[in-house]
Amino acid sequence: MSLTELDDDTLRSMSIGAVFSDFVGKINSLDFHRTDDLLVTASEDDSVRLYDIANAKLLKTTYHKKHGADRICFTHHPSSVICSSRHNLDSTGGVVSLCMSPINDSFMSGSLDHSVRIWDLRVNSCQGILRLRGRPTVAYDQQGLVFAVAMEGGAIKLFDSRSYDKGPFDTFLVGGDTAEVCDIKFSNDGKSMLLTTTNNNIYVLDAYGGEKRCGFSLEPSPNATIEATFTPDGQYVVSGSGDGTLHAWSISTRHEAASWNSNIGVASCLKWAPRRAMFVAASTVLTFWIPNSGTDPEAGPQSEHITL
């Protein structure tokens, strides 16, 4: 199925196509490769797992008992990932956000010591540090020219990735909500930003002017943060909720397009595949969601329920 054909009916038809339930503990983070049909997860059982999403198949599992596995993201190479430790190795207080540049070997980490660090895969040392307020969450735009840092008090600062040392070129405020932002994403067209807060509010902002395009409130989840995701066409937002449900909203109409029972409790990780009509949701279980209508190979693995 072409991603340009996503509509309310397609979203409502989505159901679980595969389940992976052999994790011991919560899945901390997950990431899709930008161009290959691959998914990687990092979980509390210290495992890093690689999946073929076209065939809903576990390809490889490695364990990292010494450092643990917390935040994870792909580099540009399909067999290379960046993973942060669950155990504090230095004075950074733990990495809470990790993001790879879409255009070069740079990546960023946000830490509980209120710092954002800029790294280069080719160099074994930090290339730059930004000292900020609160728990910083980071994201590059899809062109890699701009990165955003969300801080305490609902402040979003935009930096030029080529001259970040000059400070932010713009600052937005999410008016009325001072909760910490636990996740930030840019839409593929770079026109919108998606914020998820620790009190389970979701906001879509205009990435150029900072105006709030829409906002959604979800049931609280005291012991877990939730994650929201854009669909690749930027027309919908999909998110978990504290009551164990999943929701999809149309950004243009601001109305709920679909809702589902997650069947896995609170989904603390949720991402849409870059090039497929598919999203994954995870708690202590990993689920693949696909349209339950037909056998088009572009829709990803077919809707026969597989438990692994």
Q: Contact at 8 Å (CB) between 106 and 125?
A: no
pLDDT score for 305: 40
Non-local CB neighbours of 116 within 8 Å, separated by 6+ positions: 108, 109, 110, 129, 130, 132, 136, 138, 149
As a whole number of angstroms, the distance between CA 211 and CA 191 comes to: 11
- The pTM for the full model equals 0.90
3-state secondary structure of 299: helix
Highest mean pLDDT of the ranges 69-78, 129-138, 152-161, 287-296? 69-78
pLDDT score for 221: 87
As a whole number of angstroms, the distance between CA 139 and CA 97 comes to: 8
Non-local CB neighbours of 212 within 8 Å, separated by 6+ positions: 174, 175, 203, 204, 205, 206
The answer, yes or no, to whether residue 28 has pLDDT greater than 60, is: yes
Both tokens of residue 22?
Answer: 């052999």
3-state secondary structure of 283: coil
At 171-189, the pLDDT tens digits run 988 867 778 888 999 999 9
The answer, yes or no, to whether residue 222 has pLDDT greater than 50, is: yes
Phi, psi dihedral angles at 3 (to 5 degrees)? -70, -20
